């Protein structure tokens, strides 16, 4: 008992009772009018509140291919707290938030169904889930507070408005101009203006008239005695302000799931099925009032549902059974995939829905670094315990996924892999920002087909569990799983598609070979002293060449002509042609001179191209002394083994390998050199 009591006391210290009381505030209608006078934004519409919620988390401007894009931190920084961050969809998200902004200003899109359209697994559900979760959290803040009301019950206690309406709906039409004029008094035109949109729901309207009759028409007395206003907290779990509708099979669909149904047990009590007290206003459109309702696979809805949806979006009204239309204030978001959308376009009976729909394409990610981030959310050292994921394992899987989504370029000298690299921010000779803009322009539907991230996640998961004896998962295990599952992939519908995806796997394998060869080369050539000596030697000769001088031989002391063979052996490593060698050498000397003017000393590490050239040259000079190819025969002498261990330790320290995958990579690269495979450019 002592432990339990101490634990409860510790928990009590963690509570914030003041915050609890604040978000569970209750008061009179007159007190609510004071709140509205001080904080008119509590009366915002659902679209206004949703837009302000997104903006409250901050924005940043980025420039992508000469185009300014606003990135909303709500979908990145805030969403990452819940492991739901959305990457690589800055343009579609900007379009979505602009739609919310237009709706918040009353420009017309508030009367539309927002339809997120894209292939399976493109984050449509994730985006809506974030919006719902964001609204829930926002309603608990001072900036996002909103209120509803409840009636004093004849039986006992208080009975809440079933549709948690705005308390200002209680003001009769004839009194609204006077009260609104007072609430908006001394406000400038650009300030937020309090408005009243809509009327009471059938239940509250019935109760309002009945109570007003008791007070002989004295509305202020009735309001002060019969009404209590309370702080409304949106919650999907409690079905308050957040709704989700998922279609079932057509035989079991019933439109009352959207607009509520008669409570047959209460008919005996109230005597009529048209008495609002005998009706449950608990359909998804009812309970989502003041917030957001999500329609999963919206285009699979029965036609009867679509009629309700049309009225809900265009008129902001719903028609419960046996009652007049009642007002709603909510954001309606649906999502669907390409086949369902094509079916909508071909169905002439759906013309009214098409006309009331704002379609926002949510494509697959086409930028490699963003695709990698998607998988790193689930496959990282914190989530994957007991197994090491070798470097480039996630990268090669993401690379293949992105390649399947790209449209082959029309440019004759550009491969699909090079297009991927351009999109990922790499510069290629002969290609500018304008070329990338043109590539995107010629493929407007890029990313709307290809391999889903779910397939990649499933195959990485398979690779993690398929080899329980292995402590490390490497790219070849994942590539094997990706290829093995292609024949059984339900979304691959033709032999040509299968063949294309398989060819792209081979492209990725070859690219991986180049990546690891380069890493091993750099690990072998990572001798700082040797690189510095080689660099100093090269610079001495370049300086002499550009200034038409001779170089002093450090061993004989004699003056000699600059060593053209040495300089070209380094420059050729980074594809400097003979015709460009003079320009390159002058660039190097100008760069060194500029540093000297600033009082800085030249270091080969400050010039990425030169560093790469030096490393490749040093590797070429040293690879024979290390005898890497002897690894293949498993006959390694002690001196060679010591050198190999040094290279392995560099791979572990500098590139993130473990003992197992470092050994595997060295053996793999050794086998490449053993068969004399040339490096691809």
Residues 470 and 407 in one domain: yes
What confidence score (pLDDT) does residue 466 get?
A: 87
Count of alpha carbons within 13 Å of 251, Cβ hemisphere only?
0
Q: Which pairing describes strands 67-72 and 59-64: parallel, antiparallel, or unpaired?
A: antiparallel
pLDDT in tens, 584-604: 888 888 888 888 888 888 877
Residues 533 and 663 in one domain: yes
In which band, very low, low, confident or very high, does the pLDDT at 93 lie, cut at 50, 70 and 90? very high
Residues 400 and 501 in one domain: yes
Mean pLDDT, residues 234-240 taken together = 96
Mean pLDDT, residues 191-201 taken together = 93
pLDDT at 378 over 50: yes
Mean pLDDT, residues 417-442 taken together = 87
Mean pLDDT, residues 368-392 taken together = 90
Mean pLDDT, residues 512-516 taken together = 92
What confidence score (pLDDT) does residue 454 get?
A: 93
Residues 462 and 554 in one domain: no
pLDDT at 427 over 90: no
Residues 398 and 463 in one domain: yes
Q: Which pairing describes strands 146-152 and 158-160: parallel, antiparallel, or unpaired?
A: antiparallel
pLDDT in tens, 105-122: 999 999 999 999 999 889
Mean pLDDT, residues 162-188 taken together = 94
What confidence score (pLDDT) does residue 14 get?
A: 81
pLDDT at 55 over 50: yes
Measured distance CA(567)–CA(571) in Å, rounded:
6
Residues 497 and 529 in one domain: no
What confidence score (pLDDT) does residue 282 get?
A: 92
Residues 664 and 539 in one domain: yes
User: How large is the angle between the packed helices 495-524 and 393-405, nearest 10 degrees?
Assistant: 140
Is 650 or 354 the better-scoring residue by pLDDT?
650
Lowest-confidence segment of 225-234, 255-264, 344-353 by average pLDDT: 344-353
Mean pLDDT, residues 72-90 taken together = 93
Mean pLDDT, residues 360-386 taken together = 91
Compute φ and ψ for 412, nearest 5 degrees.
Answer: -65, -30
What confidence score (pLDDT) does residue 251 get?
A: 59
Structural domain includes residue 356: no
User: Taking a C-beta distance cutoff of 8 angstroms, is the pair 117, 341 a contact?
Assistant: yes
Neighbours of 344 (CB within 10 A): 19
- SS3 of 157, please? coil
Q: CA dihedral in degrees (383, 388, 390, 394; nearest 10)? A: -20
What confidence score (pLDDT) does residue 678 get?
A: 46
Compute φ and ψ for 229, nearest 5 degrees.
Answer: -95, 140
User: Taking a C-beta distance cutoff of 8 angstroms, is the pair 292, 333 a contact?
Assistant: yes
Compute φ and ψ for 337, nearest 5 degrees.
Answer: -110, 175
Residues 532 and 662 in one domain: yes
Lowest-confidence segment of 93-97, 511-515, 540-544 by average pLDDT: 540-544
Is 575 or 137 the better-scoring residue by pLDDT?
137
What confidence score (pLDDT) does residue 623 get?
A: 62
Mean pLDDT, residues 210-231 taken together = 96
Q: Which pairing describes strands 317-318 and 158-160: parallel, antiparallel, or unpaired?
A: unpaired
Mean pLDDT, residues 536-559 taken together = 83
Measured distance CA(153)–CA(227) in Å, rounded:
10
% pLDDT > 70, the chain: 95
What confidence score (pLDDT) does residue 421 get?
A: 92
Cα–Cα distances in angstroms (integers) from residue 331 to residues 53, 289, 306, in the given order? 13, 9, 16
- SS3 of 70, please? strand
Compute φ and ψ for 235, nearest 5 degrees.
Answer: -160, 125
Structural domain includes residue 439: yes
N-terminal to C-terminal alpha carbon distance within the chain: 72
In which band, very low, low, confident or very high, does the pLDDT at 382 lie, cut at 50, 70 and 90? confident
Residue where a domain terminates, one of 478, 506, 534: 506
Structural domain includes residue 597: yes
Structural domain includes residue 206: no
What confidence score (pLDDT) does residue 322 get?
A: 87
Range with top average pLDDT, 451-455, 519-523, 532-536, 637-641: 451-455
Mean pLDDT, residues 140-150 taken together = 96
Which range of residues forms the domain containing residue 593? Answer: 523-675
pLDDT in tens, 465-484: 988 888 899 999 999 999 99
What confidence score (pLDDT) does residue 680 get?
A: 45
pLDDT in tens, 57-76: 999 998 877 788 999 999 99
Cα–chain-centroid distance for residue 478?
A: 24
In which band, very low, low, confident or very high, does the pLDDT at 237 lie, cut at 50, 70 and 90? very high
What confidence score (pLDDT) does residue 425 get?
A: 86
Structural domain includes residue 281: no
Averaged confidence pLDDT in the chain: 88
Cα–Cα distances in angstroms (integers) from residue 219 to residues 154, 164, 179, 276, in the given order? 18, 21, 13, 22
Residues 500 and 527 in one domain: no
pLDDT at 555 over 80: no
Residue where a domain terminates, one of 438, 472, 506: 506
Rounded to a whole number of angstroms, the CA Rg of the chain reads 34
Residues 527 and 435 in one domain: no
Counted domains in the chain:
2
What confidence score (pLDDT) does residue 318 get?
A: 92
% pLDDT > 90, the chain: 50
Mean pLDDT, residues 26-32 taken together = 96
Mean pLDDT, residues 579-583 taken together = 87
Structural domain includes residue 448: yes
Measured distance CA(106)–CA(45) in Å, rounded:
10
Structural domain includes residue 86: no
Structural domain includes residue 412: yes
Residue where a domain terminates, one of 448, 477, 506: 506
Q: Is 294 exposed, middle or buried (0-12, 13-18, 19+ CB in 10 A)?
A: buried
User: Taking a C-beta distance cutoff of 8 angstroms, is the pair 140, 23 a contact?
Assistant: yes
pLDDT at 202 over 90: yes
Mean pLDDT, residues 218-239 taken together = 96
Nearest CA to 368 among 92, 120, 118, 88? 88
Is 300 or 77 the better-scoring residue by pLDDT?
77
Residues 614 and 493 in one domain: no
Residues 587 and 614 in one domain: yes
């Amino acid at each position: 008992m002592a432990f339990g009591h101490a634990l409860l006391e510790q928990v009590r210290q963690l509570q914030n009772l003041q915050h609890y009381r604040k978000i569970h505030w209750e008061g009179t209608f007159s007190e609510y009018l004071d709140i509205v006078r001080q904080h008119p934004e509590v009366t915002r519409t659902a679209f206004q509140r949703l837009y302000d919620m997104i903006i409250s988390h901050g924005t940043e401007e980025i420039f992508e291919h000469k185009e300014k894009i606003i990135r909303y931190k709500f979908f990145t920084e805030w969403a990452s707290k819940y492991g739901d961050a959305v990457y690589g969809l800055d343009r579609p998200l900007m379009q979505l938030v602009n739609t919310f902004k237009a709706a918040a200003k009353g420009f017309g899109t508030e009367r539309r169904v927002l339809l997120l359209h894209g292939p399976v697994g493109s984050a449509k559900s994730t985006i809506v889930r974030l919006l719902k979760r964001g609204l829930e959290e926002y309603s608990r803040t001072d900036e996002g507070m909103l209120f509803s009301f409840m009636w004093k019950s004849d039986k006992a206690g208080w009975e809440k408005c079933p549709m948690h309406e705005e308390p200002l709906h209680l003001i009769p039409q004839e009194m609204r101009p006077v009260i609104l004029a007072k609430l908006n008094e001394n406000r400038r035109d650009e300030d937020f203006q309090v408005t009243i949109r809509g009327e009471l729901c059938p239940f509250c309207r019935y109760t309002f008239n009945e109570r007003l009759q008791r007070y002989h028409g004295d509305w202020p007395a009735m309001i002060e005695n019969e009404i209590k206003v309370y702080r409304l907290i949106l919650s999907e779990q409690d079905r308050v302000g957040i709704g989700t509708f998922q279609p079932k099979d057509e035989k079991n669909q019933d439109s009352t799931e959207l607009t509520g149904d008669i409570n047959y047990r209460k008919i005996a009590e109230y005597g009529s099925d048209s008495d609002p007290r005998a009706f449950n206003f608990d359909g998804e459109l009812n309970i989502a009032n003041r917030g957001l309702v999500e329609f999963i696979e919206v285009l699979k809805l029965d036609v009867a549902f679509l009629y309700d949806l049309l009225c809900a979006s265009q008129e902001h009204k719903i028609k419960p059974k046996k009652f007049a239309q009642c007002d709603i204030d909510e954001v309606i978001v649906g999502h669907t995939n390409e086949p369902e959308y094509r079916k909508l376009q071909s169905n002439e009976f759906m013309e009214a829905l098409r006309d009331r729909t704002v379609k926002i394409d949510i494509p697959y990610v086409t930028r490699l670094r963003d695709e990698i981030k998607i998988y790193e959310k689930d496959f990282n050292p914190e989530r994957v315990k007991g197994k090491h994921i070798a470097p480039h394992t996630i990268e090669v899987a993401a690379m293949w996924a992105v390649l399947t989504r790209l449209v082959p370029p029309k440019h004759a000298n550009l491969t699909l892999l090079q297009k991927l690299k351009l999109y990922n921010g790499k510069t290629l000779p002969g290609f500018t920002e304008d070329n990338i803009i043109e590539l995107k322009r010629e493929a407007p539907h890029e990313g709307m087909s290809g391999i889903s991230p779910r397939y990649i996640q499933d195959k990485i998961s398979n690779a993690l569990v398929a080899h329980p004896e292995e402590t490390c998962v490497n790219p070849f295990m994942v590539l094997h799983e990706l290829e093995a599952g292609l024949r059984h992939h339900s979304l691959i519908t033709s032999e040509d598609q299968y063949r294309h995806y398989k060819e792209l796997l081979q492209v990725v394998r070859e690219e991986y070979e180049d990546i690891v060869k380069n890493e091993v080369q750099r690990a072998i050539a990572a001798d700082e002293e040797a690189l510095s000596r080689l660099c100093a030697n090269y610079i001495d000769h370049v300086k002499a060449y550009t200034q038409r001088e001779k170089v002093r031989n450090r061993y004989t002391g004699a003056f000699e002509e600059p060593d053209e063979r040495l300089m070209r052996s380094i420059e050729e490593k980074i594809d400097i042609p003979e015709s460009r060698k003079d320009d390159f050498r002058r660039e190097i000397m100008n760069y060194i001179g500029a540093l000297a003017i600033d009082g800085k000393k030249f270091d080969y590490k400050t010039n990425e191209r030169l560093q790469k050239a030096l490393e490749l040259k040093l590797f070429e000079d040293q690879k024979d002394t290390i005898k890497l190819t002897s690894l293949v025969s498993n006959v390694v002498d002690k001196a060679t083994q010591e050198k190999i261990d040094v290279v392995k330790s560099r791979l572990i320290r500098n590139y993130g390998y473990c003992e197992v995958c470092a050994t595997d990579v060295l053996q793999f690269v050794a086998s490449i050199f053993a068969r004399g495979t040339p490096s691809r450019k």
